[in-house]
Structure 1
């Protein structure tokens, strides 16, 4: 499989890894949209949110729990952060391996699509 995130998980491509356990890996986004912008990905390849199966319920929950832990470790949990899953082209997904964006370090505008017109998430 020629998946960028699978290659990062397999350590074939370098990334600034900030967290890893047996189920997920988290690393800084190469095109950050906030002072802190990292991705949490499952080590299991799942192409899109539409491909999640019942058996993946705990894994996706673990992604969210990992994001919360990392936000606390990075010192941004108290002020707050945003989590985003993009799904397919109209949702802004460019790498077809599910990934949770976590953005923090500044006040983020709402609705996000107004900000996205100037600079995408």
Structure 2
């Protein structure tokens, strides 16, 4: 049999066919699936470090979830090394709000649900605005510095061990 000139072997993308999860990917995590476009949810931002999408049960007119693109456990698993990541998550939240017409950043709530009160163990920052328009249940669920919902500043302060400066 003669070989056909000019043909090349088919290229196979091993990452799409392998059963081995990519580094930083948890195949059981719904947020990993959203970030990897396995579940149809519009990504408002997605890069190598940070992804953002709308919360499926919004607690305010603007309710976004900012997550690390690679799987990171909940806020209890954070360490000092995660401070730049958390700061970038906050900055991304502010950028998304501004792109969606929210100009009053004093009427915004940023925070994490403290385990065991988080339903997904992939680190996710809730970004809600305007906070003044949140309903009764949302005010309860996203209550500032409650036992179940903490703002960004205390975790950063805790991680940086600079309680007097709030982690800045």
Report the TM range for the smaller structure's normalisation.
Answer: 0.7 to 0.9
What does the per-residue CA deviation read over 1:76-112, in whole Å, with 9 as the maximum and x for residues that have no partner? 13263111111211xx211001100111145157xx8
Report the TM-score when normalising by structure 2. Answer: 0.61
**Counterparts in 2 of 1:114 and 1:100: CA distance versus 1, 3 Å:** closer
Query: Per-residue deviation at 1:16?
Result: 2.0
RMSD value, Cα: 2.2
Report Cα offsets for 1:25-78 as digits up to 9, x if no partner.
110110111111110000121111121123322111110111111111112132
The structure in which a higher percent of residues are strand is 1
Unmatched tracts of structure 1, length 5 or more: none
Counterparts of 1:50 and 1:59, CA distance in 2 = 14
Question: Are the equivalent residues in 1 in contact too, given 2:50–2:89 (CA < 8 A)?
Answer: yes
Q: Distance in 2 between matches of 1:28 and 1:36?
A: 8
> After superposition, where does 1:15-94 map in structure 2 within 5 Å?
15-78=41-104, 80-89=107-116, 92-94=117-119
Query: Size of the alignment, in residue pairs?
Result: 114
Tell me the equivalent position of 2:37. 11
Gaps in structure 2 of 5+ consecutive residues: 1-25, 143-168
Q: Which has the higher contact order (CA 8 A, sep 6+)?
A: 1
